[in-house]
Structure 1
Amino acid sequence: MGVHKVYSYRQDEVEIPDDPQRIVSFSPSITEILFELGLSDQIVGISAFCVRPPETSSKRKIGSYGFVRRELLDEIRPDLIFTISGYQDKFTAELAKNYPVVCVELPVSLAGIIDLPVKIGVITGRQDNGRKISHSLIKKLPEPRMEIIGSCYLEIDLASPIAFGAFSYITDALRYMGLRSIYGDQNREWISSSLDFVHSADPDMIIYEAKMFSKYTEQDMQETIRNRGWS
């Protein structure tokens, strides 16, 4: 089997097989793309946060978004590991000391999301499939709303309130829909949100995503709204 070299987002030169057979992914978006590329049989380990497509339920969970069980990784002997930039930077640096890790840049726009299948396809020897996926995504996009119709606060519960700044594709997606993120002028990817700032910004819309795997009910949502004074 031949090998080739690719450059990680961290500018590391990584040598991987032309046709990798033991792939590990710690990024939910990359895991989903690998399945779309037809590489299900080659995926030997994923993060516990990789839950799409449903077929991920049959894959071995060897860690979380920033943690790995080293004994399982040594047992699997991956010939390619995927991580993504940003929150996983330190995690990537540690893994790269002993394993072939390709860190992919986290997209900052919708265009970057559409480009991602091509990047993963090139790295895994599935370039044509990757381009087909990207082209199909382009066809599905509606026309962007050019005018701003309102302001928006989007929060994801990651054990604390997290919002997103100018370097996040989430901010770009909101703008595509005509919404201005109240944190959109901060030159960062993610931000520990200040509820006082949210109140002062008085957004027209609030989008809230509860902590992953939590049993968050409609009653819980109503309680969150009351406790934060969002009603």
Structure 2
Amino acid sequence: SFERTVTDDSGATVTIHGEPQRIVSLAPANTEILFALGLGDRIVGVTDYCDYPPEAKTKPSIGGYSTVSVENVIAQKPDLIVASYGNGAELVDQLKKLNMTVVSLNPENVSGILNDITLVGTATGADDNATALVNSLNSRIQNTEQNVSAATTRPKVAHIIWNDPIYVSGNGTFQDELIRMAGGTNAFADKQGWTNVGIEDFIAADPDVLIVNSGTGMGGTEDSIAQYFDNDTRFANVAAIRNHRVYVIDSDVVDRAGPRIVDALEIFAQDIHPAGAETPVATSSQGAPGFETVPALCALAIGLLVAVRWMR
């Protein structure tokens, strides 16, 4: 008796016949959404990069994020595939020609992420969990924005993806939105998307706060990017370095379009306005009712322009 029709982020109308019991996720963010909705036991395939929650690593691999093995997907006999913009339209079309049911996600902002949680909940029959999760995340967003609303300053903030070359989050990115929601201004709002900036331009921007991605998975230690800015004497007069306001954030938390994006917002707020932000609340990975509480060097940075396009 289960039948749902949804319109996904590609504009496609998809009808799901029968409540999905075998779900394949083609992106880390999708996997996080599925687990957060309490659907972990229905997931039968994930990408090599799906590492959160830890249970995701026990699921069968269907290949990489942009190198999905169609054979591996078919072998799992899925009744629903949750795809992502970064997988490419060609792959999605191929899967559909094989009579696979595919829902594609491509959120453009934080509201889009929340809408996609609702979308996945509708497609899978996890409506109640999706509603509870979205309500909880919205409450945390509102609390964060209220906590920083009384701030008398809006510091210039730079979100750094990588350091060689320097890659930043410019206008039109999720991170730019997080900076604004957390009571800051983007030091590189004049740049579009995820882009590299020269050292001279970086120094001239003179950000008050640096929020840098962790270096893990990028050929460096967790704080290798932060150390680069702290130790290079060329940056000694940049306000953020001079005032010791360089903060490290988990790359996966801030670069994936899943529920943990609200964790990232709370971390941004605490870093930008330490006195006016609450301690971040880590997002649970199992079951919505309990939710109260861009490889190597340049290649990785370029990958984040596509895959981080939200690691969607």
Query: Residue 159 of structure 1: CA displacement?
Result: 8.9
Residues 123 and 217 (structure 1), Cα distance of their counterparts in 2 relative to 1, 3 Å cut: closer
Q: Is the 8 A contact 1:20 1:80 kept in 2?
A: yes
Is residue 88 of structure 2 the alignment partner of residue 91 of structure 1? yes
Is 2:124 aligned against 1:120? no
Verify: 1:199 aligned to 2:203, yes or no. yes
Q: Which amino acid aligns with 2:210?
A: I
Query: Relative to 1, partners in 2 of residues 1:121 and 1:158: Cα closer, same or farther, differing over 3 Å?
Result: farther
Structure 1 match to 2:62: 62
- Whether 1:171 and 2:171 are equivalent positions in the alignment is no
Instruction: Determine which of 201, 208, 211 is the counterpart of 2:212.
Output: 208
Could you tell me how far 1:23 is from its partner in structure 2?
1.2
The C-alpha deviation readout for 1:110-150, integer Å capped at 9, x for no partner, is: x3334432222112111111001111222333241245421
In the alignment, structure 1 segments of 5+ residues that lack a partner are: none
User: Aligned Cα RMSD in Å?
Assistant: 2.8
Q: CA deviation at 1:95?
A: 2.5
What is the DSSP-based 3-state SS (H/G/I as helix, E as strand, rest coil) of the residue aligned with 1:83? strand
Whole-Å separation in 2 of the counterparts to 1:23 and 1:78: 5
TM-score w.r.t. the length of structure 1 is: 0.82
**Structure 2 unmatched runs, 5+:** 237-312
| Deviation by residue 1:63-107 (Cα, 9 ceiling, x = unmatched) | 23322123211211322222333xx1x624322322432112324
State yes or no: 1:22 paired with 2:16: no
Q: Which structure carries more helix by proportion?
A: 2
CA distance in 1, matches of 2:230, 2:66: 30
Preserved CA contact (<8 Å) 1:24 1:45: yes
Change (3 A) 1:163 1:202: same
Q: TM-score, normalised by structure 2?
A: 0.63
Partners of 1:18 and 1:125 within 8 A in 2: no
Alpha-carbon separation, structure 1, partners of 2:171 and 2:225:
30
**1:150 maps to what in 2?**
155
| 1:150-180 Cα distance to aligned partner (Å, 9 max, x none) | 1111122499654323332221111111111
User: 1:101 maps to which residue?
Assistant: 102
Question: Is the 8 Å Cα contact of residues 67 and 91 (structure 1) preserved in structure 2?
Answer: no
**Alpha-carbon distance in 2 for matches of 1:64, 1:121:** 25
* Equivalent position SS for 1:118: helix
Instruction: For CA contacts below 8 A with separation 6 or more, give which structure has more relative contact order.
Output: 2
Greater than 6 Å deviation, 4+ residue runs: none
Matches within 5 A, 1:172-191: 172-186=177-191, 188=192, 190-191=193-194
Q: Which has the larger share of strand? A: 1
**Is 2:165–2:197's contact at 8 Å kept on the other side of the alignment?**
no
Are 1:158 and 1:211, in contact at CA under 8 Å, matched by a contact in 2?
A: no
**8 A Cα contact 1:161 1:193, kept in partner:** yes
- Name which of structure 1's ranges 4-13 and 38-47 shifts more when overlaid on structure 2: 4-13
Tell which deviates more after alignment, 211-220 or 24-33.
Answer: 211-220
Cα separation, 1, equivalents of 2:226 and 2:171: 27
Q: CA deviation at 1:26?
A: 2.4
Q: Is the 8 A contact 2:161 2:169 kept in 1?
A: no
Would the alpha carbon gap of residues 195 and 167 (structure 1) be closer, same or farther in structure 2, given more than 3 Å must change?
same
Which deviates the most, 71-80 or 213-222? 213-222
Rounded to whole Å, the distance in 2 between the matches of 1:81 and 1:228 is 49
